[in-house]
Amino acid sequence: MAVPITALYAGLLAILLTIISAIAGIMRGRKKISVGDGGDMELLVAMRRHANAVEYVPLALILIGILELNGANSTFLHVLGAVLVISRIAHAYGLKPDGIGDPFRGIGAGGTALMIVVAAGYAIWTAVGTM
C-alpha cells in the first residue's frame, strides 16, 4: 500500500535534517573540531538543533505512517505533517545559546509534542476500536 502523505513529509523533513546537518558539519570544518563540541557553544547549539530533530522526527513520521496505513483522513494527516514541519523549523530557528525564552523554540517544542501526542492518541483510539 502506498503512503504518499507520509512520503511527502518524510521528504520535506529529510531535506530539513540534511540542511541542519550540513550547517553543523560546515561549522565543524570552520572551527576545526572533528569530534564533540570542543567547548564551543555555537557548535554545541548546531549539534543540538540536529540531534533534537533526529530524536523526534522519526517517531512522528512513524505515527503519521501508521495512521495513513490505517486509513486516517488525509486532511488530518496533512495537518499533522504541516504542524511537524513548521514546528521543526521554528525549533531549529529558536534554539540559541542565550535563547531559552525564545518563542520560536517554545513553539517548535510545543508543536512537536502536541503533534506526537495527538497522533499517538488517535493511533491508540483507532487500534482499540478495531480490536
Task: Name the residue ranges covered by the structural domains of the chain.
Answer: 4-126
Give me the residue label for grid cell 492518541.
121
Dihedrals phi, psi of 62, to nearest 5 degrees: -60, -45
Q: Is 3 exposed, middle or buried (0-12, 13-18, 19+ CB in 10 A)?
A: middle
Q: What is the DSSP string of 36-96?
A: S-TT-HHHHHHHHHHHHHHHHHHHHHHHHHHHHHTT--HHHHHHHHHHHHHHHHHHHHH--
* In CATH, 4-126 is 3.40.50.2020: no
- Distance, CA of 80 to CA of 120 (rounded, Å): 11
Cell of 98: 542565550
How confident is the model over 49-87, as pLDDT tens digits? 999 999 999 999 999 999 999 999 999 999 999 999 999
How confident is the model over 21-42, as pLDDT tens digits? 999 999 999 989 889 888 888 9
- Distance, CA of 28 to CA of 48 (rounded, Å): 13
Q: 100 versus 107: which is more confidently predicted?
A: 107
